[in-house]
């Protein structure tokens, strides 16, 4: 949760559910989850990454998962920037509110 808490500062329109960050628009929902993976060759070196899931709102109001991608960057600034760019390109518009 440490990485998600740091990302929360970069995504002011996100809702923190305690287990993930959620961004919601009229047509899209984006969830950011923190995952841990232990490589088989060195199980003591646990790897932490952020999985970004996209959901498309159907005409009946239900959310259908559209795609997901995993992000792994050492710098939280680079991680946040790349996630933001990916979200914007995936949904085809900026989701942030202008200050």
Instruction: For residue range 37-72, list pLDDT tens digits in order.
Output: 776 766 677 788 999 999 999 999 999 998 899 998
- 47, 36 in Cβ contact below 8 A? yes
C-alpha gyration radius of the chain: 14
In this prediction, residue 96 has a pLDDT band, given cuts at 50, 70 and 90, of low
Q: Alpha-carbon distance 80 to 96, whole Å?
A: 13
Among 14, 56, 58, smallest CA distance to 33 is for 14
Q: Is the dihedral of CA 78, 81, 83, 89 positive or negative?
A: negative
């Amino acid at each position: 949760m440490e990485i998600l808490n740091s990302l929360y500062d970069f995504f002011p329109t996100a809702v923190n559910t305690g287990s993930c960050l959620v961004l919601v628009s009229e047509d899209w929902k984006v969830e950011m989850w923190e995952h841990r993976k232990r490589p088989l060759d060195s199980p003591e070196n646990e790897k932490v990454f952020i999985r970004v899931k996209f959901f498309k709102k159907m005409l009946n109001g239900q959310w259908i998962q559209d795609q997901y991608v995993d992000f792994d960057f050492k710098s939280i600034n680079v991680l946040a920037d790349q996630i933001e760019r990916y979200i914007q390109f995936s949904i085809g518009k900026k989701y942030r509110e202008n200050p």
